[in-house]
Amino acid sequence: MSTRTDVRTNAAAVIVTSAVAGSRVYQGRANTLDGSVFPVVYLYAVREQVETQTLRPTNREQYRRLELIVDYYDVQSSPTTVIDNQFDTASATIETAMLADPTLSGVCGDCLLTNIEYVIDPDEDKRWGCARHTFQIIYVTRN
């Protein structure tokens, strides 16, 4: 398996343990968004920067920075509930869980939260939206 796969797998396990979305934590982007199962979390990588640290024909050391997205989707639980509060609580839980084990059980050197973006759809029936957390996962490979 690749380190990217291990990062997603271990990050998913950390978030499942935090119980922010129960067992509805999915890896990858090939999952269908279904509002009837909110809250739900999707994890996926969007970019990876690679810097070669050593130059030689084999066994090159590469410093890698993987951008891991953790999307938390939820719907307003009642007409009197402030959906922003739901996202604040979930974001705090996700941040605490991910940063409590910054090596994700030893698969990376560090895990840094770099951005959070909130998007709330003002649907007339129910407000729903996404709290998108961007983590930079830092690790070193040899190849």
Q: pLDDT value at position 116?
A: 95
Query: Are the C-beta atoms of 141 and 62 separated by less than 8 Å?
Result: yes
pLDDT digits (tens, 9 = 90+) for 8-24: 888 888 888 777 766 68
Q: Which domain holds residue 56?
A: 3-142
Diameter of the chain measured on Cα atoms:
63
CATH number at residue 33: 3.30.70.1700
Please say whether the dihedral angle defined by the alpha carbons of residues 105, 106, 111 and 116, taken in this order, is positive or negative.
negative
pLDDT at 124: 65
Per-residue pLDDT at 24: 83
pLDDT for residue 106 is more than 80: yes
**pLDDT tens track for 35-57:** 677 888 999 999 989 888 887 77
Helix (H, G, I), strand (E, B) or coil at 94: helix
Q: How many domains is the chain built from?
A: 1
Quick: pLDDT tens for 48-96.
Answer: 898 888 877 778 888 899 999 999 999 887 888 888 898 999 999 999 9
Q: What is d(CA 106, CA 51) in angstroms, rounded to the nearest whole number?
A: 21
Sheet architecture: strand order including 110-121: 25-27, 40-52, 61-75, 128-142, 110-121
